[in-house]
Structure 1
Amino acid sequence: MVRPRHILVIRLSAMGDVAMTVPVLKALTEKYPDVKITVLTRRFFAPLFTSLNNIQVFEADVKGRHKGITGLRRLSSELIDLEIDAVADLHNVLRSNFLKVLFKLKGLPVKQLDKGRKEKKALTRHNNKIFKQLKATPQRYVEVFEKLGFPLNLEEVSLLPKQQLNARIKEFTGEKTGKWLGIAPFAQHAPKAYPEDLMKEVLQELQKVENLRVFLFGGGKEEAAKLAAWQREFANCSSVAAKLDFEEELVLISNLDAMVAMDSGNGHLAANFDIPVITLWGLTHPYTGFAPFRQPASNFLIPDLKKYPAIPTSIYGKDVPQGYENVMRSIPSQSVVQKIKEVLHLNYS
């Protein structure tokens, strides 16, 4: 089998899933430096790949010129004009399946992500649940490239290095002294977010820690307004929302000493820089395969499974079964504070 020389990689969303491609693509380009990679994704995600070699990003404008069947036909033509000779579909959704048909008509080999739907259904069903660790998503991505003739070992890949703070970022952060902690208290689906009153208890306790700076991450007007209010309430907190662009946020994240996140994208962003990530899980669970890359299980804070045995109730945590409205309240704020102190090597009472 002749290995492809130019691979199209498809992963359009969501942020966490796109972020999990980074260590895989880094491993691929380091082991096979002669292979060119084009990543088809949203323009917003392009900064994720700027430090990787032999990778270019092609914007999927699915709300504009690439919208609908006509737009997808146009997109496939534009991609074929780049002289790709193989396709790694790491998304496997309706849109990428339509593209697969068009690519195969042109004779291009297409290998797709196996999402493991059957075992995920067994893990999340209420009755006869099979509660076991499923394959990690980055490993599922690896298997796609193996089908194209590119064996990879993620244990060998080095993670992204710390990025240098430029003048604009330093204008916001100031010079680094003491410890820097990131907290991303929100998630795409509200049931996956730690209750705000408990998060405020965490922030209140962190006020007692000397030389600790807390950066609050979030997006959108509603989240930005909440973070701005917390910044006013807690002296050592600074809201990043609307202060830095995404590329600058990545630089800041690379300089953190730890990140606290939900089962959401910010945890994966930090993990790519080998930053310790404390994740708070609600209706989902690390067994689904979406835990941040190379993070120890000791950093996963999980609800009381004896009280809530149906967890995980879904893969994405969107729906709340009756009686499971308060699962995250079984993770005490004191436990979160203690884990932060442990990870940051602090000994404050």
Structure 2
Amino acid sequence: MDKKGKDTHILVIRLSAMGDVAMTVPVLGEVVANYSKIKLTVLTKKQFVPLFSELKNTSVYVADIKNRHKGLLGLWRLYRELKILQIDYVADLHNVLRSQILKKYFTLGRIPFVQLDKGRAEKKALTRTSNKILKQLRPTHQRYADVFENLGFPIDISQAKPMGRLPLSQKTLDFVEQDSKKWIGIAPFAAFVGKTYPLHLMEEVIKELSNTDRYKIILFGGGVGEIKKLETLETKFKDVISVAGKLNLAEELELISNLDLMVSMDSGNAHLAANYGIQVLTLWGVTHPYAGFYPFNQPAENALLSDRAKYPWIPTSVYGNKFPKGYEKAMETITPLKVLKKINEILCH
């Protein structure tokens, strides 16, 4: 590894959705904590750069996959740019067509290149409706760690420590004034309807939390439609603040790192909070923690699952994008009362 005193430079590839990218953070943190001579360059999208700002010996190279690095020619251009960085190893934590093409280029340059094992066959067995094999699959965090082990850099992610609380900037403080109330983050949306808690039920949860006068509720989301819905909730109840569309990701991370609890779907905000050691309550629809996407280092009892007695085919998909007819209301089996009870259990523990 230590080549005449020089750093070992590992390129880490992970594009995709925010949650998948966020899940790399505790793994990369443990790599640089264990190997002082390792330098990491993360190839990812521009909007995800703030996720890695607290990691030592780690920089980000932005993949412009919609323009400069689009298509075969663009990927060749990207490879040529990366080659200048003198990469020693490549950890592909994505394993999609785009990174497979990059693998061919790096292999020509005789650069060791190890790809993520996604476990597609076992995930298919977990989500099929007949002959379902309902068992815990290898967690995604461990799959990421396996890539580094296969490159010759084993780590024990059970030893990974969360990132520290971030100082709040003046802009963030202007939105959320510091006080003695406990701060609860709520991220009520997800990429797919199959794993999104019905908004009218989440509104009941928010109403009851607001009525206690003990909490400040901070709403997270993105996109024009989500922003409007969250702003409506903000106007209905006291001590409810929507930061959707008002703060950038770096500022949201400041806020998330200072929460007492994050309530989230099986989605990106759960992983962002977990990276800072914040307690996370997750609500699960037609997806399931067994697929391996449970937030890092969170207790199993912090997951509220839809009723499999009524909806036995759950999980019907890994990502929540597929569900049989009649499963549209599966998440309604997680009542607002159950959510409120679990919130109180976590915060009063």
Find 2:96's aligned residue among 93, 98, 103.
93
Distance 1:181 1:40 in 2: 32
Residue 221 of structure 1 and its aligned partner are, at CA, apart by 0.5
Aligned pair partner of 2:218 in 197, 215, 220: 215
Is 1:286 matched with 2:289?
yes
| Selected match of 1:23 from 15, 22, 26 | 26
1:121 correspondence with 2:124: yes
Look up the equivalent residue of 2:93 and give its one-letter code.
L
User: Which whole-Å deviations, capped at 9, do the CAs of 1:178-219 have from their partners, x for residues lacking one?
Assistant: 100000000011221100111111111112222310000000
Letter in 1 for 2:125: A
CA distance in 2, matches of 1:315, 1:143: 20
Instruction: Say if 2:197 is the partner of 1:194.
Output: yes
- d(CA) in 2 for partners of 1:158 and 1:200? 34
Counterparts of 2:212 and 2:99 in 1: how far apart (Å)? Answer: 49
Task: For residue 321 of structure 1, report the CA deviation from its aligned partner.
Answer: 0.6
How far has the Cα of 1:2 moved from its partner? 7.3
Residue 318 of structure 2 aligns with an amino acid whose one-letter code is I
Tell me the alpha carbon deviations over residues 229-250 of structure 1, each in whole angstroms, 9 at most, x when there is no partner: 0000111210011111100000
What does residue 240 of structure 1 align with? 243
- Provide Cα deviations, 1:230-276, integer angstroms capped at 9, x if missing partner: 00011121001111110000000000000000000000000000101
Separation in 2, partners of 1:218, 1:194:
14
Identify which of 43, 48, 59 aligns with 1:45: 48
Counterpart of 2:156 in structure 1 is 153
Inter-partner Cα distance in structure 1 for 2:242 and 2:34: 39
Q: TM-score, normalised by structure 1?
A: 0.97
1:34 Cα deviation from its structure 2 partner = 1.1
In structure 2, distance between residues paired with 1:29 and 1:85: 15
Distance 2:244 2:127 in 1: 34
RMSD: 1.2
Paired position in structure 2 for 1:276: 279
Q: Kindly indicate whether the alpha-carbon contact (under 8 Å) linking 2:210 and 2:216 is maintained by their aligned counterparts in 1.
A: no
2:313 paired residue number: 310
Which whole-Å CA distance do the structure 2 matches of 1:125 and 1:196 have between them?
Answer: 28
Comparing 285-294 with 168-177, greater Cα deviation is found at: 168-177
Pairwise CA distance, 1:177: 2.0
What percentage of aligned pairs have identical amino acids?
Answer: 55
Name the SS for the 1:147 alignment partner.
helix
Distance in 2 (alpha carbons) for counterparts of 1:134 and 1:61: 33
Report what 2:107 is aligned to: 104
TM-superposition CA deviations, 1:67-90 (whole Å, max 9, x none)? 111100000000011000110000
Q: CA deviation at 1:156?
A: 1.2
Per the alignment, residue 173 of structure 1 pairs with 176
Which runs of 5 or more residues in structure 1 are unaligned? Answer: none
Measure, in 2, the Cα distance between the counterparts of 1:191 and 1:123: 16
2:329 counterpart (326, 329, 346): 326
Report the counterpart of residue 338 of structure 1 in structure 2. Answer: 341
The answer for the alignment partner of 2:39 in structure 1 is 36
1:283 is matched by which residue type in structure 2?
A: V
TM-score by length of 2: 0.97
For the 8 Å contact 2:2–2:8, the answer to whether it is kept is no
Q: Partner letter of residue 298 of structure 2?
A: Q
